[in-house]
Chains A and B, each alone.
Chain A
Amino acid sequence: MKRSDPNRGEPAQGNPQPKNELDELQFFFAEQLRKRRALPKDAELSERARSIVRATGRLSAVERLEIYREQFWLRHTASLVEDFPGLSGILGQAAWEDLIEGYLEVHPPRSFTLRDLGLELPEYVEARPDLAQHALCCDMARLERAYLELFDAADATPLNAAALAAIPEAAWENARIELSPTLRLLEVEYPVAELRQRVFLARDGGIELLLASPEKQRLLLFRRDLSLFHEAVAAGAFALLRSLTQRVPLVAACERAQAEIPEEAASVAANVGAWFADWTARGFIASIEV
């Protein structure tokens, strides 16, 4: 079979509008599905629905549309609660439902996969200062998005010891470190990773969830052997890794970390060798560009 452009003869995407009778029907249908509350049985909608959808002896046209609308909300809220169990656990049922109904109105699903549905939720939570425990919710949303991204991030072959040993001494100053795609850095004001585990215990064990007090943490989130882990790290190590993710050469990254956190400057100088050896051994370093 020959290859062809799947969009041949089609207009470019962007701000799509109905162009014909079939499109108009589909836009109307899609608009009804996204309505937050059950479709009203008022005369206006009923008349419009009847002109499009056949009623049966058992169901009116609006009731048949309502089947799809209800499924839209059930499907998408179920997906979000699966991906953000910590956030939903903190908020409780009513506040969670209110949050995600608002989210889905502002950020309707646009990706072909439900996996992407909640990727903008941290920003939406950030923009909702009315939420109880707002700062805690912001941290939890960012943590859970990071887990989502790490779970199916690209597999990377870690740098091996032989490749590391082959790098000339003089090359280290300008070496750029490529960290594994299965590693994320997250700075939080609350110990949300531990709290998230308590959410599961509370949910599964029926015990009361005690929310956490503020405690600034710098977290390394990573995937190893297909499972996800978190680990709190020292401020100097965190600052160094953050610079490395920004492709700052190794020596300059060390200097930047020391400048950012002067009280950790000595620690960075003393520990950088050990940290680097540890990160390499644990597969956090994907490659080194010299």
Chain B
Amino acid sequence: MSAARLGLPDLGVGVGLRVPHYRYVVEQKPAMDFFEIISENFMVDGGRPRHHLARVLEQYRVVQHGVSLGIAGPEPLDREYLARLKRLVREVKPPWLSDHFCWCGAGGAHLHDLLPIPYTRQAIARVVERAKQVQDFLELPFALENTSSYLEFESSTLSEWEFIGEIAERANIGILFDLNNVYVSAYNHGFDPYEFVECVPHERIVQIHLAGHTNLGDYIIDTHRGHVIDEVWNLYRRTLELTGPVSTLIEWDDEIPSFDVLVAEAEKARTIRQRVLGGERLEAIARGAPPRSAAPREDAHGWQQGGPRETAHDGSTP
């Protein structure tokens, strides 16, 4: 049995650091337990992204989250990508680093998506081997996040929780447990999200993600748009009962609101943590049926994990 969170610290409740808030955070220095950055947005040589990162690092604890590793892809890990990632790690000095249980492309193309993996022994072997290599190479604890998916493969022989649990155990890595992704995938595939929550290896959960999504009726897209819905807050309560205190992060990547809205969402998570970890037990959690209650709300346009990257047009259009 591993130590809780693999011995990693509980950082409290943080939010994802996104482009529209860079200036506010740097200048106003709002109180926040920690920020999570998207690694790829800062794997550049200089300019405004690196300037903002340096200012944030002066004030806050920062964890790194990646979206481009593609650990389960058909091609070998990208050596140059990892070298650049390691240079950033040396600067940021995060307590851990995460990416996703996914692949990102094939045949040399990088599709910039978190593509689903068939839950097979062959895929487990591939991801375990590479996760060990990444953790060794980066020389810091590594975690992978369960993704939202919009399809399942006929070749899958395991449940998602069996798949990620076995990889985490065999590679000796952490799990970044995204409860919105649990909900989205449960809705899209018709399983009970509480079964996922109950069966994932709790002691390996080093961080939790919470976010909103876009319900299109026939399926949900993980847009990270809008508030965390009540069903996902309930999954959070149950997860905390099983894990104890775990660093928790609010993600909001599309139609990003003012920073105070994120602070309020983080405060809600903090209140739930205090209540659950303070001994309040939740007896009335609905379980047993796939989530079906959310009504279709809106369309989903092109979105990307981590929100938009900083570009030349953010306030300094030449």
Contacts and interface: CB of A to CB of B under 8 A. Distances in A.
A3 B136 contact: yes
Given A54-B153, A85-B313, A152-B48, A112 B318 contact: no
A76 to B, nearest CB: 7
Contacts of B104: 112
Contacts of A202: none
A102 interface: no
Contacts of A2: 136
Interface in B61-108: 68, 73-79, 81-82, 103-108
Contact of A7 (B43, B76, B122): B76
B316 interface: yes
A82 B308 contact: yes
Contacts of A29: 106, 115
B47 A52 contact: no
Contacts of B107: 16-17, 27, 30
A284 interface: no
Interface string A41-75: 00000000011111010110100110110011111
B152 A34 contact: no
A261 interface: no
Interface stretch (A18-26, A159-167, A170-178): A18-26
A25 B118 contact: yes
Contacts of B76: 6-7, 10-11, 13
A182 B47 CA distance: 9
What is the interface residue range for chain B against chain A?
Answer: 35 or more
Contact of B126 (A16, A22, A25, A50): A22
Contacts of B82: 6
Interface in B282-303: 301-303
B136 A151 contact: no
Contacts of A227: 315-316, 318
Given A2-B136, A151-B47, A223-B47, 16 more contacts: A6-B133, A19-B74, A22-B126, A26-B74, A52-B153, A53-B154, A56-B190, A68-B115, A108-B109, A109-B109, A148-B311, A151-B311, A152-B44, A152-B45, A182-B47, A228-B317
A226 interface: yes
Q: Which of B78, B111, B190 has the most CB of A within 10 A?
A: B111
Interface in B259-318: 301-304, 308-309, 311-313, 315-318
A28 B43 CA distance: 30
Contacts of B151: 53-54, 61, 64-65, 67-68
A155 B47 contact: yes
B106 A52 contact: no
Nearest to A27: B106
Interface residues of A, number: 82
Interface in A76-110: 76-79, 82-83, 85, 108-110
A276 interface: no
Nearest to B139: A1
Q: B-side binding surface: helix, strand, loop or mixed? A: loop
Given A23-B74, A71-B302, A148 B312 contact: yes
B50 interface: yes
A213 interface: no
B18 to A, nearest CB: 15
B233 interface: no
A200 to B, nearest CB: 6
B28 interface: no
Interface of A: 1-11, 13, 15-23, 25-27, 29-30, 33-34, 50-54, 56, 58-59, 61, 64-65, 67-68, 71-79, 82-83, 85, 108-115, 147-148, 150-155, 181-182, 193, 196-197, 200, 221, 223, 226-230
Interface string B127-165: 001100111110110000000001111110000000000
A30 B106 CA distance: 6
A107 to B, nearest CB: 10
Contacts of B122: 20-22
Contact of A6 (B75, B137, B155, B303): B137
A1 B153 contact: no
29 contacts: A1-B139, A2-B136, A5-B133, A6-B77, A6-B79, A6-B134, A6-B137, A9-B129, A10-B76, A16-B75, A26-B103, A27-B106, A29-B115, A34-B109, A52-B154, A56-B188, A56-B190, A68-B150, A72-B112, A76-B112, A78-B301, A78-B304, A112-B40, A113-B40, A114-B309, A155-B46, A181-B45, A193-B318, A228-B317
A228 B133 CA distance: 40
Contact of A51 (B43, B51, B73, B154): B154
> 3 closest A-B pairs (Cβ-Cβ)?
A74-B302, A10-B76, A227-B316
Given A7-B79, A75-B113, A151-B311, A54 B152 contact: yes
Contact of A4 (B137, B150, B190): B137
A149 B134 CA distance: 29
Nearest to B132: A4
